[in-house]
Amino acid sequence: MKLLGVYSIKGGVGKTTTAVNLAYSSARQLQRTLLWDLDPQGASTYYFRVKPKVKGGVSRLFGRRRRLERSIKATDFDFLDLLPADASNRYADLILDALKRPRRGLRKSVRELRKDYDVVVLDCPPSISLLSENVIGAASALIVPVIPSTLSLRTLELLDQLCRERVGDGLAILPFFSMVDRRRKLHREIVESLPAERPELLATDIPYASNVEQMGVRRAPLASYAPSSPEAERYAGLWREIRQRVEF
């Protein structure tokens, strides 16, 4: 089983749309896929029209009392299930901190899912927290959306540092450009210059497009309602690239 964390320290960079569309791409390739919405805002959960509710709250996700399987919901798409968000996810750090090994709570929970899923995609909340340290410690790779702006690049460096401290160089960090607006000069410049400095950057970028924004209205993955749109093709391409890099 591959565990992919879609993560960024910065908010509003397209994490949820990425997590939803990548999970959908994975399921389209007949991989049994689970999208775990760890963000208390529950945007992934909303996109799939599922109630943001975990039976027993966040305390049922980690530690001895965990009962993940009871809260998993099928989405409307074959091979794609969702572990919905819950408002109590905001207390995840408190629950994790109370464990004997606070940095390994997520890894243990995910181990239970190995039998049922080939791929688990984590939609992570922004910020640096104990939960994000758990994600870094457990993931096969981190997928990091980066808006081509100075501030985003700075947070990417911060993430590099955080990962090095936590797991050394063992974790594949796979940044890609998200919400690229080619009408903007700064976006164009960064998209052209950064790959030379950061060879790990994925070649596929995701444009800023109204089609993607429509996901909130349609409440479904992009490729399910606009399968031949250029943006859906990009997400499919991004997924292919990730599979090659992570080798599965």
Partner 1 sequence: MPEFEVPQDADLAELERRLVDRLDLEEGSDSQPERSWYDTFDWRLHHAGLRLVAEPREGRLLLTCLPRPGVPPCGVFHLSVSDVPRFAWDLPASDLRRAIEGAVEMRALLPRAMVQCARKTFVQRNRDQKTIVRLVIDRPAVVGPHGPQALSPRIIVVPLRGYAKAAKRAARFVTRKLGLGKVQADELSRASQALGVRIGGYVSKIDLTLDPAARADQATKQICRRLVETMEANVDGMCLQVDSEFLHDFRVAVRRTRSALSRIRGVFPAPTVRRFAREFRWLGQVTGPARDYDVYLLQLDDLRQLVPEAMRPHLDPLRPWLEKKHVAAYHDLVAATRSPRFDKLLADWRTFLGAPVPKRSSLPNAQRPVLAVARTEIWRAYRRVLRDGKAIGPSSPNSDLHELRKTCKKLRYVLEFFRSLFPAGPMGELIAALKSLQTNLGAIQDLEVQADSIAAMSEPLHRQESAATLMAIGVLVDQLHRRQAAEVAAFGAAFASFAAKGNQKLARKLFQSAKGADRRPA
Q: Are 86 and 75 in contact (CB under 8 A)?
A: no
Examine residue 200 and tell whether it contacts partner 1 (CB under 8 A). no
Q: Are 166 and 156 in contact (CB under 8 A)?
A: no
Examine residue 98 and tell whether it contacts partner 1 (CB under 8 A). no
Residue 51 vs 111, nearer CB to partner 1: 51
Residue 46 vs 62, nearer CB to partner 1: 46
Q: Residues near 101 by Cβ (< 8 Å), separated by ≥ 6?
A: none
Quote the CA–CA distance of 237 and 36 in Å, as a whole number.
22
Residue 51 vs 154, nearer CB to partner 1: 51
Examine residue 219 and tell whether it contacts partner 1 (CB under 8 A). yes
Minimum CB separation of residue 238 from partner 1 in Å reads 18
Examine residue 30 and tell whether it contacts partner 1 (CB under 8 A). yes
Examine residue 73 and tell whether it contacts partner 1 (CB under 8 A). yes
Residue 84 vs 148, nearer CB to partner 1: 84
Q: Are 146 and 176 in contact (CB under 8 A)?
A: yes
Residue 101 vs 115, nearer CB to partner 1: 115
Tokens of 68: 């993940």
Q: Helix 15-28 crosses helix 230-246 at what angle (to 10 degrees)?
A: 80
Examine residue 243 and tell whether it contacts partner 1 (CB under 8 A). no
**Which residue from 12, 65, 67, 74 is in contact with partner 1, where contact means CB under 8 A?**
74
Minimum CB separation of residue 19 from partner 1 in Å reads 18
- DSSP E strands in the chain: the ranges are 2-6, 33-37, 73-74, 80-83, 119-123, 141-146, 172-177
Residue 9 vs 83, nearer CB to partner 1: 83
Q: One symbol per residue from 78 to 97: x for binding partner 1 (CB under 8 A), - otherwise; what is it?
A: -x-x----------------
Rg (Cα) of the chain, in Å, rounded? Answer: 17
Minimum CB separation of residue 28 from partner 1 in Å reads 6
Examine residue 166 and tell whether it contacts partner 1 (CB under 8 A). no
Residue 105: its H or E element: helix 105-111
Q: Are 88 and 58 in contact (CB under 8 A)?
A: yes
Examine residue 140 and tell whether it contacts partner 1 (CB under 8 A). no
Helix/strand/coil for 13: coil
Number of residues located near partner 1, criterion CB under 8 A? 18
Quote the CA–CA distance of 53 and 61 in Å, as a whole number.
12
Q: Residues near 69 by Cβ (< 8 Å), separated by ≥ 6?
A: 112, 116
Minimum CB separation of residue 52 from partner 1 in Å reads 11
Give the residues lining the site for partner 1 (CB under 8 A).
28-32, 48-51, 71-74, 76, 79, 81, 115, 219
